[in-house]
Amino acid sequence: MAGLMLAALVACDPGPGRGQLADLRERGELHVLTRNAPTTWYEDRDGPAGPEYEMIESFAAHLGVEVRYELAGSVGDILQRVAAGEADIGAAGISRTLERGSNVRFGPVYQEVEQQVVCRRGGASPQTAEELVGLSLRVPAGTTYARRLQRLADEHPGLEWAAAQGQTTEQMLAAVWRREIDCTIADSNIVDINRRYFPELNVMFSLGEPDHFAWVLPPAASGLHAELRLWFRGFERDGGLDAVMERYYGFVELFDYVDMRAFQRRIEQRLPQYRPIFEQAGERYGFDWTLLAAQAYQESHWDPHARSPTGVRGMMMLTQRTAAAMGVNNRLDARESIMGGARYMQRLYRWLDEEIEEPDRTWVTLAVYNIGMGHFRDAQMLARDLGRNPHSWPDLRETLPLLAQPEYYQATRYGYARGSEPVRYVQRIRDYQDVLVRRLEPGER
């Protein structure tokens, strides 16, 4: 992976060769403008992360250069500076439009999103564009949201909105949540991420046709543009794009408003008394404590006395057999249950095929915790028979539900299983962990 040098909002002399591939390689540096957001580039517990970050790093490795990231305040700022040749690439969830294409070069499309009208539960509830008339609407200035509203205003006289200079879509969503405005417009990927932090955000309807995201390059960057297209074909063909999308969006498909509100309350009310145990278990058995906490919430909602109709009990919902094997004498004791569950996770993690690599290895471990190793091996067999990768979580995520269909499970060793359950199980745990991590202060993680 290419090295990282971060410069935040610093001046840059574009130089006469900006945008030329030979000049870039001579400099040994790819200068990238992006935004600080969970859908683009952000600082994670282990350093920089984000879908744009991972793709840029892959492209830079292809070029054999390092990356200098510069954080810009808005998409409009990025477009203006890239058009002027002040950076090599703008990567920030930028919609590809004919108007913008007259000033910059667009790279290949890597994501499709919808523009959605977002309001707050209990507030305004427009169902059509006409019902936006009279509401307090605000969107970031210079965005495709504002242009789409302008077209709607031609059809619906009286439609008004405010265009906020220097503010982001994420800030607009927060303003809706705080009831400062009635509604805003946001791309569906941004909404999917942020409504988990602000559960009261409510998607009312989508506006028009989907938008397509692509990177932008200076008009003169013909050589870099050609190299980008070459890299992207391989990146997409080899599964790199699918892996990035799965990593950052594969767990946000499910959303339950009531559940997420309850989870956020319990982070404050229940988690503090059990957090030291999760931290100790994570350190002892090699897992991030937030993953174990998220798993325990999915299992029992952090209730040490939880019980299921099938006989599993306790914080980590252990069977009697598993509890005995893990040295757990009292499944209703929170410490014993958490330690036993973490120890069992470690055992499953080590039992898996060496070919299963991170982060898939963690998701597969969770799935096996839920469905059992026998059914998991059946799913791997089906994956092989169907020409899928038996060591890839995205492929196994599609294969596991087949264990509930007779034409598939009748040919397996362990037979029928509710294969959709481990898929939802992993999705929810990833969702809970992501929300939990973002609720913690940086020093607490």
Q: How many whole angstroms separate alpha carbon 341 and alpha carbon 337? A: 6
Q: Which two tokens stand for residue 144?
A: 């495709």
Q: How many whole angstroms separate alpha carbon 214 and alpha carbon 225? A: 12
CB 254 within 8 A of CB 428: yes
Residues identified as active-site: 299
Count Cβ neighbours within 10 Å for each residue of 309-318 and write b for 16 or more, e otherwise: eeebbbbbbb
With a CB cutoff of 8 Å and minimum separation 6, the contacts of 21 are 221, 223, 224, 226, 227
CB 187 within 8 A of CB 169: yes
CB 105 within 8 A of CB 117: no
Q: How many whole angstroms separate alpha carbon 89 and alpha carbon 40? A: 14
With a CB cutoff of 8 Å and minimum separation 6, the contacts of 13 are none
Query: For 386-419, where are the alpha helices, taking DSSP H only?
Result: 393-399, 406-409
Task: Report CA dihedral (319, 291, 91, 188) to the nearest 10 degrees.
Answer: 60
